[in-house]
Amino acid sequence: MMRFYPGCTLSSSAKPYSRSLAWVWKRLEIEMAELPGWTCCGATAAHALNRDLAYALPARNLAIAQELGDDLIVACSACYSRLKIAQKALENPQTRERVAGVLGRALDGRVQIKNILEVLSAHAPRIQKEKTKALEGLKVACYYGCLATRIPRVEGFDDRENPTMMERLVSAAGATALDWPAKTSCCGASFSVIREEIALKMCSQILEMARRCGADVITTSCPFCQYNLDWAQWALSQQDGQKPKIPVLFITQLVGLALGGSEKELMLGANLTPSPFPKREGRRCSPPRVGEG
């Protein structure tokens, strides 16, 4: 069976992600259970300050999955990257022995860690077959950010600098995927807390690029990317009174819309940028006019 590792953000700032994801799983009849007793992967904080923790914290979750004999499905790009990096580091017998000793659990490195985009892509034909016309004509900029694809020395699920898996999903969902150059740019990550002005600048550049390429919406699979791009538009609107322009949707919200999910079921109202989609189910969407004036 597939075990889902949600990570800390999915029950909090990325709540719309976990809601829409659960809805899409159900709709596509994908069987998935949460990893029992999962704990935080340590995120950037662990590898920034303490390398031992950066390996031990993800390893604990790998050990649980291994004991169950299950694959691990990860939605958050940061968790995905940390789990993959730790698994790679644990290939070193000394590191593995040390970490296994601290955890008091065996580690064999055989757990398959899969990104949510891989799982969704496997169902692209079904999404294509069962999609409604909700997304027709919508121009979507797919934003991957850093951590989903750039993992040193680890074979990823897609190209590191020019991934295309989300584009294929978006096309399957009936929308138009844009070719744009900022899809793996950095959103500034935790700098949106520790040095806001820097993250704001980085996000603005990405948003501006999306706008120039004619994007109606941006979609992403990373909770931090979604939050930062969402937050940046909100923050700018507080500063200069401009309305946020480009909605930032989780990929599961977009796929969910194509499959007939309602605004409430997909928690679209929780995004800080306004939803471009109609409130009532089944009505055709009219993309917002972006880039005018």
* Candidate segments 46-54, 115-123, 170-178, 213-221, binder of other proteins by CB under 8 A: 46-54
Nearer Cβ to other proteins (39/286): 39
What token pair was written down for 92? Answer: 């070193």
User: Quick count: other Cβ atoms within 10 Å of Cβ 112?
Assistant: 12
Which residues touch 28 (CB under 8 Å, ≥6 apart)?
Answer: 123, 126, 127, 259
Give the contact letters, 113-132, x = binds to other proteins (CB under 8 A), - = no. --------------------
* Candidate segments 8-16, 67-75, 129-137, 285-293, binder of other proteins by CB under 8 A: 8-16
> What's the min distance (Å) between Cβ of 133 and other proteins?
28
> What's the min distance (Å) between Cβ of 258 and other proteins?
23
Three-state DSSP at 222 gives coil
Nearer Cβ to other proteins (53/68): 53
Site residue total, other proteins (CB under 8 A): 58
What residues from 169 to 198 belong to the interface with other proteins (CB under 8 A)?
Answer: 185-186, 188-191, 193-195, 198
Instruction: Round to whole Å and give the CA distance between 283 and 195.
Output: 42
Give the contact letters, 131-170, x = binds to other proteins (CB under 8 A), - = no. ---------------xx--xxxx------xx---------
Locate all alpha helices (DSSP H) within the chain, ordered by sequence.
Answer: 15-27, 43-49, 51-68, 77-89, 93-103, 116-122, 124-130, 165-172, 191-194, 196-212, 223-240, 251-258
What token pair was written down for 123? Answer: 């169902």
- Rg from Cα positions in the chain: 19
Under 8 Å between Cβ of 254 and 127: no
Contact positions vs other proteins (CB under 8 A): 8-9, 11-16, 37, 39-40, 42-54, 56-57, 60, 81, 102-103, 146-147, 150-153, 160-161, 185-186, 188-191, 193-195, 198, 202, 231, 234-235, 238, 267, 269-272
